[in-house]
Structure 1
Amino acid sequence: MSAILQAPPKTARVVFPFTAIVGQEEMKLALILNVIDPKIGGVMIMGDRGTGKSTTIRALADLLPEIEVVAGDPFNSDPKDPDLMSDEVKQKLEKQLPIEIVKKKVQMVDLPLGATEDRVCGTIDIEKALSEGVKAFEPGLLAKANRGILYVDEVNLLDDHLVDVLLDSAAGGWNTVEREGISIRHPARFVMVGSGNPEEGELRPQLLDRFGMHAEIHTVKEPSLRVQIVEQRAEFDSNPVAFCEKYQQQQEELQNKIVQAQQLLPEVKIDYDLRVKISEICSELDVDGLRGDIVTNRAAKAIAAFEGRTEVTVDDIRRVIVLCLRHRLRKDPLESIDSGYKVQKSVARVFGLEVEE
């Protein structure tokens, strides 16, 4: 009888550790805050090619703790939260049928540039539905991304209609597919992360406004830091497992900090006066709509929770407000996105602070 070969415990592809990434603090903070509170509405990351955008996003997904899901469910349904479970799982629970619960890594779904709407949203097999009388639904990428991260590289090259569909699902938390009078919906709550290179064109303002945050990243100019990044990458490529072990403790500490922040978030309060001042800044900067106010409030609470506090401070607001507002400023269509100086100036005036250079 032939022996059954055991798979080695770590067959998964080793991912560059999040805590080993040098610099790019703005992008890392925006991603962490969105994981603490997915209702912030995702991040748009704009920056030069080869600045580690994809590496950082994959590293974040790998860092996150495992989540409980219903076994065999294509939507990663949460066994406890009705807002994050499919209708099938709900019906089972209502009938008090047993469901099997398993732990699973948080999914990171890559959206290919050439993806069609069917591939993204899923399809309904009309023939099967009519002949067998069942709702034959083939889940798409949004089903897979539920409770995970949906990453769209070169989002500025994606069809506007598709970007709209993605942002609608991310905001509402549900994806609805309708065809020939048959309608199916499933939970689709995910952190939407878009990245792009400004040289290839900006996103339309209406779509940009739908992203909760906008992080700018630049190529590191400091020669010593560049050398450090190159050496780190070489060390990781030559022995990924040994490299990751060096950062294991830092990874675990950050993971625990994120989990504690998620639990603490509902208790975080933001003083009425501070909320008024946030709205005063949005008004002074002529920000259209109220998304800017809402996202800044949420992000300030998330950063307070991340640091283990239940009261939002002026400093919390100052640290997140540029990320939340810079892409919402009314501007000349030919002008590029403001680097944040206008926002900082307004914050300094309203709160009576020094403008940071």
Structure 2
Amino acid sequence: MASPTTRRAAGSEARTASSDRPPPEPSETAAASEAAEGPARAEAPEPRPLRGAFDWRSQAFGPRLRDVSPETHRRPSRAPRPACTEYPAALYAAVHTGNPGDVDFYRRACAAAESVLELGVGAGRVAQALAADGLEVVGLDRDGGLLELARCNAPGVELVHADMRDFDLGRRFDRVLIPYNGLYCLLRPEDLRDCLRCARAHLKDGGLLVFDGYSAELFHAEAEGDGSEDAPGLVRTVDALGTSWDVFEHSRWDRAEQRIDAVYTHVPRDGRPAVSATIPQRYVLADELEALLASCGLDLVVLHGSWDQEAFDLDSRLLIATATPRTARA
């Protein structure tokens, strides 16, 4: 896919962003203009190359549009950045737009339901489609800025400002959904279990928990990842906040921790400062799922590897799980 697959969901560690104009790497035609503005900052060092032959970055995040070209794009600075600020919600929503086919999949998963709770509702992309199908939809997120967008995008959805690791809505639902790598944004195993237990507590007997993430099986098994880092690449260009932005992404991988930190640098075309944001994730492996779910009172029903509901295998790019409360299957 051409767009990044990472997302920052409710209950995740906070997204970090900083506003910093990266040093230009001008073409010959722009060199004179830069000289007139004063001496340029020192060239940033190249990122450490990936160790190991397997392309873990492509498996997790999909192909890029192209690699960074120093002749045509400004390179993100490696200098110390200013104090962190929030990732602007409108910019986040413009960049992180889900995976092609995921909305239709979740609509099918909810076809026999009446009530749906979405954890990590974000700007309301999935929830809006479900509400349009006539379902009672509640969306929960801890990011107030994204919830404001959801109020505009999904007016028929009840929105709750809360942390998906610890909430009590006092009611239960036919479906609980955690789309678009939402569980991966929980960086500690205990946070993951807390979220799943909350999801279990809000499911009706016979209800279904459905969530998805990218499949990490191949790159986790076949490549080294002790702090490996790839080079920045252009993933997309988006329009937001009154201008166009070229969005670059690079990732740092820690295999032992099952941790990938995706760093997005948004370079505006109107000359304003760039915005750099990091989305940390801890991925889940397929062979961990059954025991993990069982520890939270859930049984794994089926594991798919695509939005077309193909059976999951080691070559799947996606990991899509459906689980049900254990008491419902006793």
Q: Structure 2 length normalisation: TM-score?
A: 0.30
The answer to which structure has the higher helix fraction is 1
Q: Structure 1 length normalisation: TM-score?
A: 0.28
The answer to which structure has the higher strand fraction is 2
